Amino acid sequence: MDLVRLDGRVALVTGASRGIGWAVAEQLAAAGASVALNGIGDPAVLSDRAASLQRAYGVDAMPVVADVGDPTAVTAMHRAVAKRFGRLDILVSNAGILGDALIGMIPDAVVRETLRVNTEGALYNLQAAARLMRRSGGGAIVTVSSIVGRRGNPGQVVYAASKAALIGMTLSAAKELGPHGIRVNAVAPGVIETDMTGHLDAATRQSLLSGVPLGRAGGAGEVASAILFLVSDLASYVSGQVLGVDGAMVL
């Protein structure tokens, strides 16, 4: 018998077409959850992803194309999920962008877009999910922050600000939504092998890994496993926590 089962539960994963988001969607489906996969790119990619989950795990899965930084689109997305599944039990707010630039060279457009997608997007989804979860008696929300939001990094001031904001959002939401049976936690991944780190040159990569006591980069599946724990009944008394998935990079 599997240790973690989510049969009968409905999950929405933002930024689910690749990387950590896709790994999360796959692990939730493998545990028996119905999954709504959100993305903003090619709709065919999301449709293929959803179909692959249905074939592999026998669960219901639906693609939802929506810009998480657009509150109207987010409201429509959650309504679509509610219409299809009748409830929402799990939200994983994973969608995000980098927006790297040195302090004196950050274009206004980069500031606005990074905060719009990373911070406002998570907030809009938190609000919409909380409304649905209250109706069904509770749920679990996980926001995907970053090690950069906890310790900073040169050239990533805006990205760090957007991810640090998620931590404050998580802590406040956990206190406010706890009485409604809604648990809210965050994960803070470190150096993870995804498309977002694939652009790093060898020297930068080695410099980052030199600060990881485990001596290697993590995998998207390892972050997904941490999230699977947080949304499962194994973490039924865990809320308001920021779980580092970083190989002991931050202690």
Domain architecture of the chain: domains with CATH: 10-244 (3.40.50.720)
Q: Please state the pTM of the whole predicted model.
A: 0.94
Among this protein's residues, is 159 annotated catalytic? Answer: yes
What values do phi and psi take at 92, rounded to 5?
Answer: -120, 110
Q: How far is CA 57 from CA 12, 28, 54, 227, in A?
A: 17, 10, 6, 19
Q: Which residues of the chain have pLDDT under 50?
A: 1
H/E stretch holding 13: strand 10-13
Sheet holding 182-189, edge to edge: 61-65, 34-39, 10-13, 90-93, 139-144, 182-189, 242-245
Q: Which residues pair with 90 in a beta bridge?
A: 11, 140
Per DSSP, helices labelled H in 1-64 are 19-30, 43-57
Residue 137 CB partners (closer than 8 Å, separation 6+):
181
What values do phi and psi take at 149, rounded to 5?
Answer: -75, -10
> Annotated catalytic residue: which of 57, 124, 159, 237?
159
Dist CA 38 CA 84 (whole Å): 14
224 with 121: CB under 8 angstroms?
no
pLDDT of residue 69: 98
pLDDT of residue 166: 98
38 with 64: CB under 8 angstroms?
yes
Judged by DSSP in three states, 213 sits in coil
pLDDT of residue 99: 85
Q: Can you give the length of the chain in residues? A: 251
Per DSSP, helices labelled H in 86-146 are 108-114, 121-136
246 with 189: CB under 8 angstroms?
yes
pLDDT of residue 207: 74
Dist CA 241 CA 184 (whole Å): 8
pLDDT of residue 251: 63
Judged by DSSP in three states, 37 sits in strand
Dist CA 165 CA 250 (whole Å): 18
pLDDT of residue 199: 62
